[in-house]
Chains A and B, each alone.
With several copies, the nearest count.
Chain A
Amino acid sequence: MSRFDIPANIVEQTRLAHSIFLLTVNAPAIMDSANPGQFCMLEVQDDNSRDPLLRRPLSIYKTGSNGKISFLYKEVGKGTRLLSKRRPGEIIRVLGPLGQGFRLIHDCPSILVGGGLGVASLLLLAQRIKQPHRLIVLIGAKNASEIPTIEDFSRLTRYLHIITEDGSLGQRGVITELLNQTLQKITDMAQIYTCGPWSMMKAVYHMARKRNIPCQVSLEAAMACGTGLCLGCAVPKSNSQGFLHVCQEGPVFDADQVHWG
């Protein structure tokens, strides 16, 4: 487990939609060891200021050539707002790659289910799937502007299905409908990988369990360290015996391990 805390040069900061940004930094060491589903902790703020105090966790969206890694993020509060104001040429400290990513299960269809910005942890996974002809990607969102990076996925699979609540892109409806349609067509064993809002992942997990399909989920929790030091990122275990720690044992878990409430 190699992790690096790097003062990284910002290479690109692009607004893709109203509040969605793609940030690319130069961090060769992190790039080299990044696995799908892992994340980094980013110092959003200048060193001369301690507010906000904590770094922000972001999934590794892309690894480019020449040591570049990209993050796909949404401006939701003051940390991401400050982050979005950082400009190319500025230095930003990035700690990663962190956590346990997805375990790649080959030899069966891979179904990736992303809700909104949940796609941020799925692209690297989609790229690493060994049998691209058995890669199915399902993406759901409120509207088209929430998922501005669809082409990144369409390049990787013919089986890309999109659904939006307002019908502005793909089908109209919610992602569980897509998953239902997909699962009805699947006859052999499969593996579901999902990332998105808690309630969506919960629904995905229940559908998977009904069909006995293993399901890996990528969880979020408020984090202070991202490295297992503080024990702050707890999520209840399914057996009600204590807690999982998202940054260290996760962020990816077998959905069975999690107490979904």
Chain B
Amino acid sequence: MINQKKTIPVCPDLSINIGTLRLKNPVLLASGTCGYGMELDGLLDLDKLGGIIIKGLSIRPRSGNPPPRLAETPCGLLNSIGLENIGIEVFIRDKLPCLRNIQTSLIVNILGNSVEEYFEMAKRLDREEGIEAIEVNISCPNVKAGGIAFGTDPEAAASVTHAVKKATGLPVIIKLTPNVTDITEVARKVASAGADAISLINTLLGMAIDIKFRRPALANVFGGLSGPAIKPIALRMVWQVVRAVDIPVIGIGGIITPDDALEFLMAGARAVQIGTATLIRPSTAEDLPAGIRDYMRANNIKNVENLRLPA
């Protein structure tokens, strides 16, 4: 057991790079589970985190799906929010000014129904100060291709990547959907198309039925599954993608404790995002950097990348 080695204790360095983006530690808040940041006021010290990823923005405001939008499942949460958001312009006008004051990296998540929409949004954000990277949600339906998600079609995923890269000089993180046969195929395409990093996983498509009322638990029938239930699947995909591409991977899926985060970092993730856990306990992410540091110190590991396991 490594932690029995008796050596001079190191002072672990938690900072990491994702392309040209430097984060003070590898813990970020996941899009859609931290609102526009301000909602966490007084409940979580954003400054302690590596970064925060804003709720997915679309070109125009979206009011989302009808309720019920939530259903609890064993160790999981199904949601069909339907990408409700205030739209990119209102965000820039009303939210961005405050967000510029936080002492953590601000990443904006975008979603579109066409390659053009992704391009437009990336271009628009590129003009604004205070945004350090763009995360691109490609789990959205590709309207031109009959509504199949961009992320389940490697070519479409590559087109979006290309377009966004052309539109902005900011680091571009492509967020993959796990609802595919071979995640490495999509990852490779996206990497070749110029993505600076990949984050995964978005939610898994699931459903629940309310047997009392004899109808699907969600008005939208299907929803996205998140939370601890999906951690083993997320971890497997991170492990696979880390070994398939050369760009950094950000791991997401069911992380609650420092141990969970360490599993992803050992799988080879450069950083992690905390989603559902923030909903359950807003301060969750705050304790992770210290927990990761403690483990690194106990095991004499100098920096985050050295946590990665071989093979």
Contacts and interface: CB of A to CB of B under 8 A. Distances in A.
A–B contact at 8 Å CB threshold (below) = yes
Interface of A: 1-3, 5, 43, 50-55, 93, 95, 221-225, 227-236, 241-243, 248
A230 B281 contact: no
Contact of A243 (B33, B64, B227, B282): B64
Interface stretch (B75-83, B105-113, B135-143): B75-83
B279 interface: yes
A242 B67 CA distance: 11
Interface in B1-60: 32-35, 39-43, 55
B113 to A, nearest CB: 19
B153 interface: no
A234 B35 contact: no
21 contacts: A3-B43, A5-B43, A5-B283, A50-B227, A50-B256, A51-B75, A53-B276, A53-B280, A54-B77, A221-B68, A224-B77, A224-B279, A229-B39, A229-B282, A230-B81, A230-B279, A231-B84, A232-B69, A233-B70, A236-B66, A242-B64
B228 interface: yes
- In which size bucket is the chain B interface? 35 or more
Label chain A's interface by main secondary structure.
Answer: loop
Contact of A229 (B35, B76, B283): B35
Interface string B256-292: 1000000000000000000010111111000000000
Contacts of B66: 234, 236
Interface of B: 32-35, 39-43, 55, 63-72, 74-77, 79, 81, 84, 227-228, 256, 276, 278-283
A229 B72 contact: no
Contacts of A231: 35, 55, 64, 69, 81, 84
A43 B256 CA distance: 14
Contacts of A3: 42-43
Contacts of A43: 280-281
B281 A5 contact: yes
A232 B72 contact: no
Contacts of A233: 67, 69-70
Contacts of A235: 67
Given A3-B43, A231-B81, A225 B279 contact: yes
Nearest to B65: A234
Contacts of A230: 32-33, 70, 79, 81, 279
B75 A222 contact: no
Contacts of B67: 221-222, 233-236, 243
B79 A227 contact: no
Given A5-B283, A241-B63, A228 B35 contact: yes
Nearest to A246: B67
- The residue in B55, B71, B79, B281 that gathers the most chain A C-beta atoms within 10 A of its C-beta is B281
A53 B39 contact: no
A180 to B, nearest CB: 25
Contacts of B84: 231, 234, 243
A177 to B, nearest CB: 22
A227 B39 contact: yes
A56 B75 CA distance: 15
A229 B279 contact: yes
Given A50-B74, A229-B33, A243-B63, A5 B79 contact: no
A28 to B, nearest CB: 16
B34 A229 contact: yes
Nearest to A235: B67
Contacts of B34: 229
B33 to A, nearest CB: 6
Contacts of B42: 1-3
A229 B69 contact: no
Contacts of B279: 54, 224-225, 229-230
Contacts of A225: 33, 278-280, 282
A234 B62 CA distance: 13
Contacts of A227: 39-40, 43, 282
Given A51-B228, A54-B77, A221-B67, 5 more contacts: A5-B281, A50-B228, A221-B68, A224-B77, A233-B67
Given A229-B40, A230-B70, A243-B84, A53 B228 contact: yes
